[in-house]
Amino acid sequence: MSQPQFRVALRGEAILTHPRFNKGTAFTTAERQAFGLTGKLPYRINSLDEQCQRAYDQLQSQTTDIGKNSFLQSMKDQNWVLFYSLLTRHLRELIPIIYTPTEAEAIANYSHLFRRSEGLYLTFPNRDSMEEDFLEATKGNSIDLFVSSDAEAILGIGDQGVGISAAKSVIYTLIGGIDPSKAFAVTLDVGTNNESLLNDPLYVGWPHERIRGKEYDDFVDKFVQLVRKHFPHSLLHFEDYGVTNAQRLLQRYRDTHAVFNDDIQGTGAVTLSTLMAAIGVTKSKLCDQRIIIYGAGSAGLGITKQLRDAMVSLDKISVEEANQKFWLVDKHGLIRESLPDVREDLKEYVRKDSEWEEIQAQGDSNGEIKLLEVVKKVKPTVMIGTSTHAGGFTREIIEAMAAKCDRPIIFPLSNPSKLVEVDPKDANDWTKGKALLATGSPFPPAKMPDGKDYIIAECNNALIYPGLGFGAMISHSRIMTDTMIIAGARRLASLSPALTNPDDALLPDFGDAPSINFEVAVAVAEQAIEEGSAGVDWMKEEVREKAKEKLWRPIYGEYVFDEDGEK
Ligand SMILES: NC(=O)C1=CN([C@@H]2O[C@H](COP(=O)(O)OP(=O)(O)OC[C@H]3O[C@@H](n4cnc5c(N)ncnc54)[C@H](O)[C@@H]3O)[C@@H](O)[C@H]2O)C=CC1
Ligand SMILES: CC(=O)C(=O)O
Ligand SMILES: [Mg+2]
């Protein structure tokens, strides 16, 4: 692999404290002389391998996962190549440290663990200087990706005020191969309704209740318009916005800029891939499924819509017919006509009261139809959890499903691990090894009745969103279309180990996430070219080679000092 060359304008302390250019003890003799570092570094020149070895040893001396997460965070603040290189070498071991589940704990303690700011903080009381702040932070950078969050629904841990965008941005680089200097994390701090944060004197965000309504919309719009004006070819990623805003914002901007909501579209896509793999095992069609979605928030709705659209486009049934394959259950039970305050975006999936009269008559005093009743009546083939209700899939519910279905497909997707709707080991035991399982966070294999391991697929949007994003970015897509997302999801499904061995995991191993996401990116860019959404004039056949050229890899470049160079 040839070494990239850079002309750099930083010297001495300035280059040593710049995480993009810092090499620490790996600066060569010539670079030490050219950049004024001879007296600032110990004598020995280390290779990247040696630095990784040292860093890994230091990491091992941390005894807790959160300690490891903090150690890695500080390494990222110091040296990007070393940070990503270390993660790449120990991917399977370290993803759970920098992503779910440990990142949830890190975000919940953001204000207490805080050492250094990163990316851009756009805070509501400073809205008048938003353009100035935006331009100051992005000055001189060619940014391809903005990862934004208002932190209202972080993983399953709710309103955290500030957090997450940086971790999701890291995954784009680590797994998607996106140059970290071209990716930018943006925190939109519009307040928090989290009482314990509001009462915490160390809380670093704006201690004020969340801004809603027109003021919120205007604030977000100001940000989106700045992105569109100054970086018209960038991808704008939305992460962990609250359910009342997530779908609305996506609808508002999706036809005018390449925007992507990970919880809706990324989760929808990865779940479609996983389900396609599962029905490959059960030898059935998507439109043959009866699907219960437990938790009808951003992820639940995104999954429903993605699966519904796939039934329409792949199985050629009508939208109305496809809508009838879903039963959405939220905290007030089955979503049906007489339930008050059903969100507008769920209206298509509302079930008729007349179908449930008999059950309702036997139900509790609130008239809510609970998951168990829905399972007994519907006899689902698929049950997906995005509820944050730990243990919501009880033994009784799982056994009721398994009693009427040969191979129940069960995906408890809530993160972090402690919020999973059912431990996959239990679901496996209660169904006597018949269930086809996937979870949102990593879990150890379950034991089949014959003693063999059943690998639990990790159905997490990180297995697909970096590829979806990279594909859209390299093809300079003006918008991210549903067909581009379906192309990526189908490519991921085609890589399922269960296609060749039905007893194997439904999805490829997260340790292979970089090569998997590369395949997704190629499929997305090919689709963008085919349908005319792309802004490049490549032939489809060229995409793979072009994509390879664009991949960022964690290797040190060769630096030459130049006063007009990069800084
Ligand atoms: N595996 C993956 O890739 C992903 C997993 N998720 C996980 O899914 C969960 C939900 O995330 P979002 O949809 O973003 O949150 P959300 O807040 O938009 O949705 C949660 C929904 O669950 C409902 N709910 C709460 N308690 C419930 C109960 N006891 N019974 C039934 N429904 C209940 C809420 O009313 C809400 O509609 C989180 O744990 C999140 O980490 C989210 C995105 C991706
Ligand atoms: C994975 C993810 O996006 C979530 O849990 O919110
Ligand atoms: Mg999320």
Q: At 26, which CATH number?
A: 1.20.1370.30
pLDDT digits (tens, 9 = 90+) for 411-443: 999 999 999 999 999 999 999 999 999 999 999
My answer on whether 453 and 486 are in the same domain is no
Give the CATH number, domain containing residue 194. Answer: 3.40.50.10380
Q: Has residue 307 been placed in a domain?
A: yes
Q: Has residue 557 been placed in a domain?
A: no
Q: Has residue 474 been placed in a domain?
A: yes
Which of left, alpha, beta for 357 (phi over 0: left; psi -120 to 50: alpha)? Answer: alpha
Q: What single DSSP character describes residue 158?
A: B
Checking DSSP bridges between strand 183-189 and strand 259-261, what pairing results, if any?
A: unpaired
User: 277: which 2 tokens?
Assistant: 């793999």
Q: Has residue 562 been placed in a domain?
A: no
| Residue 526 reports pLDDT greater than 80 | yes
Are 193 and 206 in contact by the 8 Å Cβ rule? The answer is no
Our answer on whether the CB atom of 422 is closer than 6 Å to any ligand 1 atom is no
Backbone angles phi and psi of 534, in degrees to 5: -75, 150
My answer on whether 426 and 353 are in the same domain is yes
My answer on whether 70 and 178 are in the same domain is no
What stretches of 306-426 adopt beta strand conformation (E)?
326-330, 333-334, 382-385, 409-412
Is 323 one of the annotated binding-site residues? no
Give the CATH number, domain containing residue 269. Answer: 3.40.50.720
Provide the domain count of the chain. 4
My answer on whether 231 and 367 are in the same domain is no
Q: Has residue 559 been placed in a domain?
A: no
My answer on whether 149 and 278 are in the same domain is no
- Which of 442, 460, 478 is a domain's end point? 460
My answer on whether 304 and 446 are in the same domain is yes
My answer on whether 520 and 412 are in the same domain is no
Mean pLDDT of 536-553: 96
Spot the catalytic one: 68, 76, 99, 294: 99
My answer on whether 178 and 240 are in the same domain is yes
- Residues, Cβ < 5 Å to ion ligand 3: 240, 263
Q: Has residue 567 been placed in a domain?
A: no
My answer on whether 229 and 164 are in the same domain is yes
- Which of 257, 285, 308 is a domain's end point? 257
- Give the pLDDT of residue 406: 96
Q: Which domain holds residue 133?
A: 102-257
Q: Has residue 519 been placed in a domain?
A: yes
The pTM for the full model equals 0.95
My answer on whether 424 and 508 are in the same domain is no
pLDDT digits (tens, 9 = 90+) for 11-39: 999 999 999 999 999 999 999 999 999 99
Q: Has residue 440 been placed in a domain?
A: yes
My answer on whether 474 and 366 are in the same domain is no
Amino acid at 156: G
My answer on whether 108 and 27 are in the same domain is no
Amino acid at 81: V
Closest ligand 2 atom, residue 413 Cα: 5
CA of 11 to the centre of ligand 2 (A): 40
Is 460 one of the annotated binding-site residues? yes
pLDDT digits (tens, 9 = 90+) for 142-154: 999 999 999 999 9
| Residue 221 reports pLDDT greater than 90 | yes
Our answer on whether the CB atom of 152 is closer than 6 Å to any ligand 2 atom is no
